[in-house]
């Protein structure tokens, strides 16, 4: 393998990687280099990749076991490949169009995601990522102490639950081209530490997923709200973020344990279609 060309796209996180063809099997050297690039940059991007669903899955499997989505249906031919679609005339909000870390309401949320662009608008439809290590590191020592050992309750209620109070009509939530189920089990409460330690880098990050976090454990919604609102707002400060402009055949691979992301919904009248593959993770500690 020739050396990877790694070009950071922002001060906080994110790097484009050139000099690799993701349709080809990874050798040990390339795997190690990409894993290091992911740990250092939190989200890595590739351009001009022409890959089939099988090749996307084979690439993802180097990094761990794969998962299917509990609520959104994958391709009939490849259930682990989730089509993320917004049609030109969809009235729906876009999938992922709110700050979140993917399915943080699972006991063992994913380690990462690999998102491949099949069709994107000429302009718009960017994805913003935020570095949750930085969000943690820049808190005051006093607030870090207050949060140390504290846990929070996450649910999938606002995304996939029937009693969602924020967005009530299903057709406003998801594209008609995505097969997404609303289910009662999305309301099951799962507790995670508010500060988590990355299992591979050993670094601490703030673990709040704006769409899923409900309240601090052993505290009411009302009691939790002021501090949670502060943390959610603080964690999206522009200087903690990077913004990726997609082209057809771009790939983003993010570490879901130490980032949040937000898919911009600013391209009404244009079709956007991606393939997403999820790599399993472990219980946050």
User: Is 275 a binder of ligand SIN (CB under 6 A)?
Assistant: no
178 or 263, CB closer to ligand SIN?
A: 263
Distance between CA atoms of 19 and 84, rounded to whole angstroms? Answer: 27
When asked if residue 250 is in the footprint of ligand SIN (CB under 6 A), the reply is: no
Minimum distance between the CB of residue 210 and ligand SIN, rounded to whole angstroms? 12
Smallest distance from the beta carbon of 170 to ligand SIN, in angstroms?
Answer: 18
Among 41, 56, 127, 260, contact with ligand SIN (rule: CB under 6 A): 127
CB nearer to ligand SIN: pick between 41 and 113? 113
Verify binding: residue 205, ligand SIN, rule CB under 6 A.
no
Q: Which of 43, 135, 153, 274 binds ligand SIN (CB under 6 A)?
A: 274
Dig out the tokens for 192 from the structure.
């995670």
- Say if strands 259-263 and 272-279 run parallel, antiparallel, or are unpaired: unpaired
252: three-class secondary structure by DSSP: strand
Of 103 and 195, the one with the shorter C-beta distance to ligand SIN is 103
Count of CB atoms situated within 10 Å of the CB of 36 = 12
Structure tokens at 123: 């302009």
H-helix or E-strand spanning residue 29 = helix 28-41
Query: Phi/psi class of residue 149: alpha, beta or left (left: φ > 0; alpha: ψ in -120 to 50)?
Result: left
Residue 92 CB, shortest distance to ligand SIN, in Å, is 13
For residue 152, give both structure tokens. Answer: 């929070």
Is 243 noted as a catalytic residue in this protein?
A: no
Q: How far apart are CA 144 and CA 122, in angstroms?
A: 42
Q: What is the contact mask toward ligand SIN in residues 72 to 111, using x (rule: CB under 6 A)? A: ------------x----------xx---------------
Q: Cβ closer to ligand SIN: 31 or 121?
A: 121
Handedness of CA 25, 27, 30, 32 (dihedral sign): positive
Size of the site for ligand SIN (CB under 6 A): 10
Q: Which residues have CB under 8 Å from 140's CB, separation 6+?
A: none
- The closest alpha carbon to 241, from 135, 161, 141, belongs to 135
Active site residue 176: no
According to the binding rule CB under 6 A, does residue 263 interact with ligand SIN?
yes
- Straight-line distance from the first to the last Cα atom of the chain, in angstroms, rounded to the nearest whole number: 35
The residue from 154, 257, 261, 271 that is catalytic is: 261
Q: Is 100 a catalytic residue?
A: yes
DSSP letter, residue 238: G
**51 contributes a contact to ligand SIN by CB under 6 A:** no
216 vs 254, beta carbon nearer ligand SIN: 254
Cβ atoms of residues 158 and 212 within 8 Å? yes
For residues 266 and 122, give the distance between their C-alpha atoms in angstroms, rounded to a whole number: 11
With residue 135 as reference, give the H or E element that holds it: helix 132-137
* Residue 276 touching ligand SIN (CB under 6 A): yes
158 catalytic per annotation: no
Closest to ligand SIN by CB, 174 vs 216, is 174
Q: Should residue 154 be labelled a site residue for ligand SIN when binding is judged by CB under 6 A?
A: no
The binding site for ligand SIN (CB under 6 A) comprises: 84, 95-96, 113, 115, 127, 261, 263, 274, 276
Please give the positions annotated as active site.
100, 102, 261, 276
């Amino acid at each position: 393998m020739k050396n990877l060309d790694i070009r950071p796209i922002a001060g906080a996180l994110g790097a484009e990687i050139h000099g690799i063809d993701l349709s080809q099997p990874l050798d040990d050297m390339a795997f190690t280099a990409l894993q290091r690039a992911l740990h250092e940059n939190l989200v890595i991007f590739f351009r001009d990749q022409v890959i089939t669903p099988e090749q996307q899955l084979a690439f993802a499997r180097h990094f761990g076991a794969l998962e299917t989505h509990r609520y959104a249906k994958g391709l009939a031919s490849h259930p682990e490949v989730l089509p993320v679609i917004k049609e030109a005339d969809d009235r729906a909000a876009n999938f992922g169009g709110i700050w979140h870390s993917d399915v943080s309401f699972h006991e063992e949320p994913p380690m990462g995601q690999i998102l491949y662009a099949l069709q994107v608008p000429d302009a718009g439809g960017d994805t913003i990522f935020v570095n949750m290590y930085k969000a943690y590191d820049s808190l005051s020592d006093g607030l870090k102490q207050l949060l140390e050992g504290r846990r929070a309750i996450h649910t999938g209620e606002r995304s996939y639950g029937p009693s969602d109070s924020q967005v009530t009509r299903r057709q406003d939530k998801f594209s008609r081209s995505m097969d997404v189920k609303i289910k009662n089990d999305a309301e099951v409460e799962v507790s995670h530490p508010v500060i988590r330690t990355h299992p591979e880098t050993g670094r601490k990050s703030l673990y709040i997923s704006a769409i899923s976090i409900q309240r601090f454990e052993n505290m009411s919604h009302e009691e939790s709200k002021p501090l949670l609102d502060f943390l959610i707002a603080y964690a999206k400060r522009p200087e903690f973020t990077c913004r990726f402009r997609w082209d057809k055949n771009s790939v983003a691979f993010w570490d879901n344990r130490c980032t949040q992301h937000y898919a911009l919904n600013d391209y009404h009248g244009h079709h956007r279609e991606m393939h997403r593959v999820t790599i399993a993770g472990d219980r946050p500690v």
